[in-house]
Amino acid sequence: MTREDSYSYDTYLSPFTWRYGSEAMRRLWSEQHKRLLWRRIWVALAEAQMAAGLVRAEQVADLAAHRDQVDLARAQEIEADIHHDLMAEVRTYAEQCPGAFAATKRLLMELVKRGGDRQALHETIREHALAAWAALRAGSANPLVERLAADPAIGQLASAVEVRGWLAANDYVGDAPQRARRFAASPVEQLR
């Protein structure tokens, strides 16, 4: 076995790896570990958002349940298309737990794919989300989708119809409607 054969994506590869790097150091700087750290940060962020009432406990639980299931092969497929390792990992994680990721992440990814500036769009979405949160706290209906659909910067990259489609809640319920129909159609024993 050659030195190259003994290394995988679980270790950091560099000309100095086999000369000076310990096993622990290679693990620390590996692609696997980097992505695990990103996922830990995202779970912590979701927990803070849950405490603020922005996400549901089930969404946080879904993220936490998939936190350690890094799929480097899938992330690399996505990265080959979009050329961005972090966004590829976000999309891979979102595929693993689609109900946990807010619809605005999908909107952001779609707009970035069309050439939008991720940081500027993130700030735009954040401003609208904060305004929508204030409206909800004041007792109004949630204006987020319409605010985003009407935003001029977003409108340069996508139509209002596309924005509404990407934010459609029915894309984030998984197979719950089918399971509910199957359950309702099946005989249910009375609980004692």
13 Cβ contact list (under 8 Å, min separation 6): 7
Query: pLDDT tens digit string along 10-31?
Result: 765 667 776 777 888 888 888 9
Q: What is the DSSP string of 105-168?
A: HHHHHHHHHTT--HHHHHHHHHHHHHHHHHHHHTT----HHHHHHH-HHHHTTS-HHHHHHHT-
State whether the Cα torsion 105-107-108-113 is positive or negative.
Answer: positive
pLDDT digits (tens, 9 = 90+) for 78-87: 889 888 888 8
- The full set of domains in the chain, from first to last, is 31-101 (1.10.275.10), 103-174 (1.10.40.30)
Tell me the pTM.
0.52
